[in-house]
């Protein structure tokens, strides 16, 4: 009897185990099916909208060129040096203009570097007090206080009225080497300078009368 009961108990236990095993197997199969279910295809992302062609950069507007000034106004005449006249501000530019401005004798000496004959000029024997101007531009070039009698027949001075009014350059004409002097302002030929003059300078500016204009002093 005990054996029978034990057998029945074993049989019941096996039946229960068998039932549980089958149920577990079914669930596994079910789960597998669910797992193996096809995945829904992932919706493709809309392709990135292609940008339209890059807009051409508008050319940078060129700056308006700086307005060109009207022709550069002529510079104001250089302030005249003391002792010069307003007429010196505007000078002829060509030989033709000089020829129209000067007398024949003045043109021959001032522009063509001629020489007047000794003892024929207006100023070689002038002893009045005053100033001597360039006949071409009215620049004051010599003073009567520096004039002396050289015995040459041409007006002679020991120095110019002031520094810078007379310029010089080498002259090799007539087979000699001399220092030619001319008006620094207009370039008009005056004569020559030598080193045989009296003190204090030891110089002798030998000048053509026709190159000069004399202006008598108003002082008594």
Catalytic residues: 206
- Summary count for the chain: helices (H), strands (E): 3, 9
Phi, then psi, of 26 in degrees rounded to 5: -65, -40
Q: List the end-to-end C-alpha distance of the chain, in Å, as a whole number.
A: 186
- Closest Cα to residue 190, out of 199, 179, 181, 202? 181
Phi, then psi, of 131 in degrees rounded to 5: -120, 155
The DSSP 8-state label assigned to residue 159 in this structure reads S
Structure tokens at 151: 């015995």
| Other beta carbons within 10 Å of 122 | 13
């Amino acid at each position: 009897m005990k054996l029978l009961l034990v057998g029945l108990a074993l049989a019941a236990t096996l039946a229960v185990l068998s039932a549980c095993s089958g149920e577990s197997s079914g669930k596994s199969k079910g789960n597998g099916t669910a797992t193996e279910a096809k995945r829904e295809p992932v919706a493709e992302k809309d392709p990135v909208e292609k940008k339209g062609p890059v807009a051409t950069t508008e050319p940078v507007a060129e700056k308006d060129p700086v307005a060109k000034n009207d022709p550069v106004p002529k510079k104001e005449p250089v302030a005249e040096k003391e002792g010069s006249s307003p007429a010196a501000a505007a000078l002829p530019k060509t030989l033709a203009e000089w020829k129209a401005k000067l007398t024949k004798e003045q043109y021959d000496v001032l522009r063509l570097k001629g020489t007047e004959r000794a003892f024929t000029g207006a100023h070689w024997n002038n002893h009045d007090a005053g100033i001597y101007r360039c006949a071409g531009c009215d620049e004051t070039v010599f003073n009567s206080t520096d004039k002396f009698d050289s015995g040459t027949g041409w007006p002679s001075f020991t120095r110019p009225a002031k520094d810078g009014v007379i310029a010089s350059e080498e002259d090799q004409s007539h087979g000699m080497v001399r220092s030619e002097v001319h008006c620094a302002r207009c370039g008009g030929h005056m004569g020559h300078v030598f080193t045989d003059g009296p003190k204090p300078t030891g110089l002798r500016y030998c000048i053509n009368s026709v190159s000069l204009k004399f202006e008598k002093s108003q002082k008594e």
